[in-house]
Structure 1
Amino acid sequence: MKYILVSGGVISGIGKGIFASSLGVLLKTIGLKVTAIKIDPYMNIDAGTMSPIEHGEVFVLNDGGEVDLDLGNYERFLDVTLTRDNNITTGKIYQQVIQKERKGEYLGKTVQVVPHITDAIQEWIERVAMVSVDHSGEKPDVCIIELGGTVGDIESAPFVEAMRQFQFRVGHANFALAHVSLVPVIGPVGEQKTKPTQTTIRELRALGLSPDLIACRCYKALEPEVRAKISMFCHVGKEQVISVRDVLSTYHVPLLLKEQGVLSFFQKRLGLDTIHISADQLIKSESILKKWTKLTEDHDRLKKSVTIVLVGKYTNLQDSYLSVIKALEHSGLKCERKLTLMWVEASELEHEFEKVNPDKYREAWNVLSSANGILVPGGFGNRGTEGKVAAAKWAREKKVPYLGICLGLQVAVIEFARNVCGLSDANSEEFEPHSKHKIVINMPEVSLTHLGGTMRLGMRSTIFKDDTEKWSITRKLYEVTGFMAVGKQSIEERHRHRYEVNPTYISKLEEKGMHFVGRDEKGERMEIMELKDHPFFVGTQYHPEYLSRPLNPSPPFLGFVMASAGLSLDTIFHE
């Protein structure tokens, strides 16, 4: 097993996840099987209880793991399926060590950060790195480990020490380090400054780790003299200093790294050419590079655009909806449309907000009314709910394509119950516990006292009703994209929710024209909602964005973007 550690310096959020994912793509182009591990130094057990505004979206895996958004990048770029163990946190490690101590497994020893915590980290990495992440069932050849945070953080110290030890545990020939650093531009002449990179490399070396590759994040390509300066003062060769400049899209990064010899460098540094690669793997690997190159070329050539308005609660930090954005991009590429994504804070659509700030209220409604398609994503809490209901009403009445995800489905059902079924005080138990008509209710098996890991999480089945075969657009989308196997009427998607549509109101809603075409295995939980007399009005209780891939977009997102662009299934799948 070969290990590549990716660390970062100067600032957080520098793009280590994209670099790690892109490096993984390059390794796959030569036939290697790649897995990835993300280390998050925070004390939380997982990302499930963390605010999206503070940390970005919570990404959900097949096994129900609520993890860091970078695992979403790994899955999308590498087309692999990871588990909750691929995300290591300080909380998980300490929990494991303390449980062992309580059982007496340390034989009376004083439990300390070194060696017990650092050993636990190394053992975790070795165990998870050996787990197959694709359909072959074979062990990976390379494990990319991303160390979150910034070198020098107090929280990262045990993990840095564990990695210092790990390089000797697995041997020099099996361990390499890539460090991502910032090269800022200061002053009116636009001079690229190397001092931050020199400082972070010095700190890294003081902790016992020496970089094999320095990836410099910069606005434009490094000047030759800047590259030479970093090489000299950071004790690496010039070929070991690369520039990861700003590009049109993250899809360009793998090709950018390849152009600078990153793949050939690691082939030589880790002896990757000695790893046996089957003929079948080589054939698959050749197509990966061709498809990725075409993907970037297609992205750059897009001229026609489609305007999607996202009505959300966490619009101040767009990473809160990262997987949704990516799923829209994937669908836009398939439809040959450039995505123009506009953001509306849901609370600004509410009548009460008009009294506070009438100008912003009008501006929000002007943006909404300009949309080719309206998307309401998942979320929690009461703030902005009525604005989302108003957006769903506008989309339904004005025949604007609408996609509601999780809470987006629930607010569409509430709106329909109020304005079509005549249940004026219809609401969710989450927002109004004393409502006469609780159209959305708390799921009976979830905990209301403990929030972490207590929702309905992970991969679950959705079964299409028998009578939907001829008319359900969602079903047709799953069939033509191959997400639903031939001859089947069930799909598998990832969930993350603790509230659901109240089954006692289904007959009344369906009488008025709202159809729940997909339900769970028992037929009790509503998974997919559609309106017939509408260009595209679909809601899903699950989160289809989690399974979307650049070369294989999610069916609900694809249908939504198609309808927003005025395209038909025959247009997209003409082949």
Structure 2
Amino acid sequence: MTKYVVVSGGVISGIGKGIIASSTGLLLETLGLTVTAIKIDPYLNIDAGTLSPLDHGEVFVLDDGGEVDLDLGNYERYLELTLTRENNITTGKIYKALIERERRGDFLGKTVQVVPHLTNEIQDWIERVAKIPTSSSGRVPDVCIVELGGTVGDIESAPFVEAMRQFQFRVGPENFCLIHVSLLPVVGVVGEQKTKPTQASVRELRGLGLSPDILACRSSIPFEDGIREKLSMFSQVAESNIFSVHDCTSLYHVPILLKNQGMIEVLSSKLKINYPGISKSLKDEGDDLWAQWNEFARRKARNLDVVKIAVVGKYTHLIDSYISLVKALEHASLNCNRIVDILWVEGSDLEKSTLESDPLRYHDSWKKVCAADGILVPGGFGSRGVEGMILAARWAREHSVPYLGICLGFQVASIDFARSVCGLKTAHSSEFDPETKEPIVIFMPEIDPVTLGGTMRLGSRATKFTNDDFTLHSSIYKLYGSQEVIYERFRHRYEINPEFINVLEDNGLKFVGRDLETGTRMEVLQLEDHPYFVGTQYHPEYITRPLKPSPPFTGLILAASGQLKEHLNKL
């Protein structure tokens, strides 16, 4: 029977439940177990697709086109999973499913209530998804990690907490483990750790019918003397089951931190994990995974050379808006034996309007761009900052600075090239200037122009590299292992106008990758006679992995650190 590890949070939101959940899953995988994950988000939205990145962080896109919470990206990266939209539960999804059943008459005239109907719907959903074989192993998961979003005590989380209270009896105590993540603040001049917030959080959780089996206490420093004993006394959790999750060199060290404190032994005891029942081949795979993870984490702590990458975006005030991009840069740099230093630049700060209103910010932003070893322009929506992104792409092109443009960054690179090289002075995207006479970027004909949620071109799709001499010798083609067809994830409504392809290519901007279905949709570009100037309509950051970095990001880091030619010669 599948076993369940539920991760809840107390005191404050954003405490790191996703990292604790992902790290716990990784530790279980090192035993040879197959793990899957579910994220519960208590908001009423059907999915994360219409949420602003500045409000809720990055919208992560899955292979099946599901637009989900950024924590599912953590699960995929840590656990080598390919999840589906079913792995993200929202209040909106649950109520929608329940109301559809009520309209069909499934309840035979009964009054539909939060308890038991809504809570049963939640439990049934979790059990159904937990039994879907994973794409990597084809095996039904041994363990399902369930992250309960929000904070215990929130009104919107109440139905899910009640569902978990009932669920522990449905599956049995040996198949259910609750990890509660709480805050251990350090206050006062002497920096004393305070346990009262955690005590109150556990007390509230117990009042709702759930008793934590494990406490994971977030703090800036390790446990002080007597803290573990005090927490055990007032929370009724064994000392061996209370873990200090203090600030580390990097998030990649969190699994190591938990393992060193005995997390594997505690989980194995609580869930009655049968070591003899796990085959030797699976154990060997787990040992190999752990060895690779340790080596990767150690690289982060080494004194490696630094490579500076300027990220010119629209949501740089909240780094979680670009969390997958940050991870992709980290993965690529560490696998290239470099440490990445990300220089965050708001696109609008590079524009003349900022020079007039705030010259110090303007010059500081351009100083970052000019000092960078490489420039990256990520995706985004809306006109704010677009002209600044176009200027950043122009700087990279004219000064031979390695450049990677993703989605919108792919489009602005094409717009700049059309204006600066092809002589199309009014070239623009119809997204930002519907009246432009030279629409380099246009709305895709099959997309619904009215409805926002779930209507973009979403999910994993095939891109085919063109079979011409330039493409076959291009760096991006080689970085992908000279594969003719690749699969990456998309999230866009606009595309390069096919009517302008010939003039762009004739002047040196080559579209080396196109969609497999029609061959008319441009998906990868590379500039002639440039160290590394690449753009992708897809989002390669969505499928980056610590031990298998994304090729476009690897190329950017290699070019920015002067290693690209040597690397390509070895391929």
Say yes or no: TM over 0.5.
yes
* AA aligned opposite 2:480: Y
Aligned partners of 2:12 and 2:325: how far apart in 1?
26
SS of equivalent to 1:466: coil
Match of 1:472 in 2: 474
SS at match of 1:557: helix
The aligned length equals 568
Within-5 A mapping of 1:480-495:
484=483, 489-495=484-490
Q: Is the 8 A contact 1:72 1:323 kept in 2?
A: yes
The match for 1:382 is 383
Matched, 1:11 2:41: no
2:513 maps to 1:518: yes
SS in 2 for 1:13: coil
Task: Find the counterpart in structure 2 of residue 204 from structure 1.
Answer: 205
One-letter amino acid of the structure 2 residue matched with residue 527 of structure 1: E
Seq. identity, %: 59
Amino acid across the alignment from 1:477: L
1:54 match: 55
Deviations 1:24-74 (A, max 9, x none): 110010100000000000000000000000100000000000000000000
Q: Distance in 1 between matches of 2:384 and 2:52?
A: 14
Tell me which residue corresponds to 2:524: 528
CA RMSD across the alignment: 1.2
What's the counterpart of residue 448 of structure 1? 449
In 2, are the aligned partners of 1:5 and 1:176 still within 8 Å (CA)? yes
Q: Evaluate the alpha carbon distance shift between residue 573 and residue 256 of structure 1 in structure 2; reply closer, same or farther with a 3 A threshold.
A: farther
User: C-alpha displacement at 1:224, in angstroms?
Assistant: 2.8
8 Å contact from structure 1 (residues 493, 547) kept in 2: yes
CA distance in 1, matches of 2:317, 2:349: 13
Q: 1:417·1:424 contact (CA, 8 Å) conserved in 2?
A: yes
Q: How far is 1:331 from its partner?
A: 0.5
Paired position in structure 2 for 1:559: 555
Measured in 2, the distance between the counterparts of 1:55 and 1:133 equals 28
**Could you say which residue in structure 2 is the equivalent of 1:500?**
495
Written as runs of structure 1 = structure 2, the 5 A alignment for 1:350-429 is: 350-429=351-430
Following superposition, the deviation at residue 276 of structure 1 comes to 3.0
1:134 shift after superposition: 3.1
Q: Secondary structure of the residue that 2:365 maps to in structure 1?
A: helix
Query: 1:469: Cα distance to partner?
Result: 4.8
Q: CA deviation at 1:377?
A: 0.2
Secondary structure at 1:409's aligned position in 2? Answer: helix
Residue identity matched to 1:420: V
Kept in 2, the 8 Å contact 1:302–1:336? The answer is no
1:286 partner SS:
helix
Give 1:279 shift.
3.0
Counterpart CA distance in 1 for 2:525 and 2:160 is: 46
- Shift in Å, 1:282: 1.7
Distance in 1, Cα, partners of 2:129 & 2:148:
15
Preserved CA contact (<8 Å) 2:475 2:568 = no
Deviations 1:211-253 (A, max 9, x none): 0000000011111311111110001111111100000111000
Contact 1:312 1:376 in 2 (8 A): yes
User: CA separation in 2, counterparts of 1:103 and 1:275?
Assistant: 48
Which of the residues 546, 550, 557 maps onto 2:542?
A: 546
Q: Match of 2:500, as an amino acid?
A: Y
Q: Within 2, Cα distance between the matches of 1:352 and 1:383?
A: 12
Cα distance, 1:299 vs. partner?
A: 1.5
Following TM superposition, by how much is the alpha carbon of 1:274 offset from its aligned partner in structure 2, in angstroms? 5.6
Q: In 2, distance between residues paired with 1:198 and 1:379? A: 42
One-letter amino acid of the counterpart of residue 546, structure 2: P
C-alpha distance in 2 between matches for 1:403 and 1:369: 16
For 2:151 and 2:97, the matched residues in 1 are separated by 24
Aligned letter for 1:519? Answer: R
Q: Is the 8 A contact 1:32 1:277 kept in 2?
A: yes
Cα distance in 2 between the residues matched to 1:529 and 1:125? 42
SS class of match (1:204): helix
1:294 match: 295
CA contact (8 A) 2:471 2:512 kept: no
Moved more, 214-223 or 273-282: 273-282
User: Structure 2: which amino acid aligns with 1:118?
Assistant: T
- CA–CA distance in 2 between the matches of 1:424 and 1:418? 5
Structure 2: runs of 5+ lacking an equivalent: none
Whole-angstrom distance in 2 between the partners of 1:144 and 1:205: 21
| Superposed counterparts of 1:428-443, under 5 Å | 428-443=429-444
Q: CA deviation at 1:496?
A: 0.3
Distance in 2, matches of 1:129 and 1:416, equals 49
Instruction: Report if the CA contact (8 A) 1:335-1:572 is conserved.
Output: no
Indicate how the Cα distance of structure 1 residues 16 and 153 shifts in structure 2: closer, same or farther if over 3 A, else same.
same
What is the rounded CA distance, in whole Å, between the counterparts of 2:495 and 2:134 in structure 1? Answer: 32
Structure 1 residues 572 and 505: CA distance shift in structure 2, 3 A: closer
- What TM-score does the superposition give when structure 1 sets the normalisation length? 0.97
Give the structure 1 partner of residue 338 of structure 2.
Answer: 337
Report Cα offsets for 1:134-174 as digits up to 9, x if no partner.
Answer: 33211000000000010000000000000000000000110
Q: Which amino acid aligns with 2:514?
A: R
Q: Per-residue displacement from partner, 1:318-353 (whole Å, max 9, x unpaired)?
A: 000000000000000111001111100100101122
Tell me the distance in 1 between the aligned counterparts of 2:472 and 2:90: 48
Give the match for residue 93 of structure 2. 92
Q: What amino acid is the match of 1:87?
A: N
1:277 shift after superposition = 2.1
Q: Distance in 1 between matches of 2:183 and 2:137?
A: 38
Q: For structure 1, which segment, 428-437 or 218-227, has the greater mean C-alpha deviation from structure 2 after superposition?
A: 218-227
How far, CA to CA, are the matches of 1:435 and 1:50 in structure 2?
A: 29
What corresponds to 2:166 in structure 1? 165
**Aligned 1:132-171 pairs, distance under 5 A:** 132-171=133-172
- In the alignment, which residue of structure 2 is the partner of 1:306? 307
Deviation at 1:569, TM superposition (A): 5.2
Task: Give 5+ residue unaligned stretches, structure 1.
Answer: none
Q: Distance in 2 between matches of 1:167 and 1:395?
A: 56
Please say which of residues 127-136 and 61-70 is displaced more in the overlay.
127-136
